[in-house]
């Protein structure tokens, strides 16, 4: 076997079919079940997009109403899950809290072992419905605030913001949040989705696959980048510091988080839609300094390296302007991506093959333990 046979990072390797989304780096497009994601973000709610990912078609009015009824009826944080979260230290990363909460929900769900498509869909909707309460409560407890009960007169995004901040969001904020959820919902065989599919391929359960996916998403090269972008902004401080900061980052070969992508090499197709949502928030919040820093870093880094922003670059500052703590950004990504993960889990289960690649051994040649005498 030669080095060229090794596909490090599985780069360029196609491992299976999927009908859920299509990433096309040449045309710079992302389709969910055939629909361009920017068209969905402009015309549909996150609930409708979740339905599309699970069922393959956009819902009619009655189907959407039914999903909304089910989602609203399962929004409240179960007491046992709250108690589990309360056992975790406030120093725990919120992604560890989300991972633990999903595990606790799975352990308590009587349907966990039922792998029928109907049961998997019910579990998918259950996680979609309850994750906002997990994420919102964890941010609140860190701030020394009480749990806020959901309101079933609000849509998904308005209720998410209500449970987090205890006040009704302005429409500009609600809309920007909903758009971010739609853009984060699905992205083919990214690292966390692939993790979920690997776990599903062993015939493990849906919750175990989502727990694994949360772990994969936490890393700074994947979902953790939206949080890392805000740390970079804090570090740089203001637009005039961008040049020297970048000189230092590039000289010490540090990655600039929020830029680059394994698949898109000429720009991430989701960025223009999220940047437009960020612009509305900047205008709404009067955040000109942050916008100036954003533009300065983008133009300097793209100019020097030709590496373009990914979705985490505009979404990090957008979540900051909405009022979320930086540590909460990646859990927001979980709440969105759970729709794509669960769609992939169901797709994998429907035409399963155990995912088990090969490796090329490069350890010591065969050798033997001193004093060992084989039985004769
Ligand atoms: N900052 C500085 N240099 C970069 C960056 C970056 N953000 N991204 C890529 N490069 C450079 C690498 O250093 C490397 O240079 P070299 O050839 O001189 O060694 C070259 O570009 C290729 O980079 P790789 O990391 O090998 O390419 P890969 O396809 O594996 O990278 C990745 C994709 C991991 C996303 C990378 O661009 C990165 O680390 N970005 C920062 C983290 C980030 O924003 N992740 C979010 C991903 S999108 C999402 O989850 C929504």
Q: What is the mean pLDDT of residues 6-22?
A: 95
Atom of ligand 1 lying closest to residue 270 CA: 51
Half-sphere exposure of 319 (CA within 13 A, CB side): 29
Q: Is 61 a catalytic residue?
A: no
- Dihedral angle, C-alpha 77, 82, 342, 225, nearest 10 °: 110
Q: Is the pLDDT of residue 292 over 80?
A: yes
Cα(327) to centroid(ligand 1), Å? 22
Token pair, residue 59, equals 């819902």
CA angle 58, 59, 62 (to 5 degrees): 170
Q: What is the mean pLDDT of residues 322-348?
A: 98
45 lines ligand 1 (CB under 6 A): no
224 lines ligand 1 (CB under 6 A): no
Cα(371) to centroid(ligand 1), Å? 49
CA angle 120, 158, 288 (to 5 degrees): 120
Q: Which of 187, 312, 320, 344 is catalytic?
A: 312
310 lines ligand 1 (CB under 6 A): yes
Distance set, CA 71 to CA 57, 167, 170, 361 (Å): 18, 21, 22, 49
218 lines ligand 1 (CB under 6 A): no
Query: Model confidence over 75-88: pLDDT tens digits?
Result: 999 999 999 999 99
340 lines ligand 1 (CB under 6 A): no
Average pLDDT of the chain is 96
pTM: 0.95
Round to whole Å and give the CA distance between 78 and 126. 12
The predicted structure's pLDDT at residue 265: 84
Superfamily of domain 227-317: Cytochrome P450-Terp, domain 2 (1.10.230.10)
CATH no., domain 34-220+330-351: 1.10.580.10
ipTM: 0.95
Q: Which of 44, 222, 261, 344 is catalytic?
A: 261
Domain extents in the chain: 34-220+330-351, 227-317
């Amino acid at each position: 076997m030669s080095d060229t046979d090794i596909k490090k990072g599985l780069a360029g390797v196609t491992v299976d079919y999927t009908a859920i989304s299509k990433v096309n780096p040449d045309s710079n497009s992302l389709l969910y079940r055939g629909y361009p994601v920017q068209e969905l973000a402009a015309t549909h709610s996150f609930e409708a997009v979740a339905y599309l990912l699970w069922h393959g078609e956009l819902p009619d009015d009655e189907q959407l109403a039914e999903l909304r009824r089910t989602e609203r009826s399962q929004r409240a944080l179960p007491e046992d899950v709250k108690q589990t979260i309360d056992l975790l230290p406030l120093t725990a990363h919120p992604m560890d809290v989300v991972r633990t909460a999903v595990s606790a929900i799975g352990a308590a769900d009587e349907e966990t072992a039922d792998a029928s498509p109907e049961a998997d869909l019910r579990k998918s909707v259950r996680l979609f419905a309850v994750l906002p309460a997990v994420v919102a409560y964890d941010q609140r407890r860190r701030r020394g605030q009480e749990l806020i009960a959901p309101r079933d007169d609000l849509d998904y995004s308005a209720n998410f913001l209500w449970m987090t901040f205890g006040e009704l969001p302005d429409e500009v904020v609600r809309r920007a949040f909903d758009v971010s959820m739609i853009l984060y919902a699905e992205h083919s065989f990214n690292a966390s989705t692939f993790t979920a599919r690997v776990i599903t391929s062993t015939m493990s359960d849906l919750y175990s696959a989502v727990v694994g996916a949360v772990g994969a998403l936490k890393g700074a090269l994947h979902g953790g980048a939206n949080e890392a972008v805000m740390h970079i902004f804090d570090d740089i401080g203001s637009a005039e510091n961008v040049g020297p900061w970048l000189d230092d980052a590039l000289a010490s070969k540090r990655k600039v988080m929020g830029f680059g992508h394994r698949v898109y090499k000429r720009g991430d197709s989701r960025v223009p839609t999220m940047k437009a949502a960020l612009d509305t928030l900047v205008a709404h919040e009067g955040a000109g300094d942050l916008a100036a820093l954003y533009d300065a870093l983008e133009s300097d880094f793209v100019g020097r390296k030709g590496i373009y922003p990914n979705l985490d670059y505009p979404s990090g500052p957008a979540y900051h302007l909405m009022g979320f703590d930086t540590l909460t950004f990646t859990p927001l990504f979980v709440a969105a991506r759970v729709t794509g993960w669960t769609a992939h889990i169901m797709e994998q289960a429907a035409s399963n093959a155990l995912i088990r690649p090969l490796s090329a051994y490069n350890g010591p040649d065969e050798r033997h333990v001193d004093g060992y005498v084989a039985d004769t």
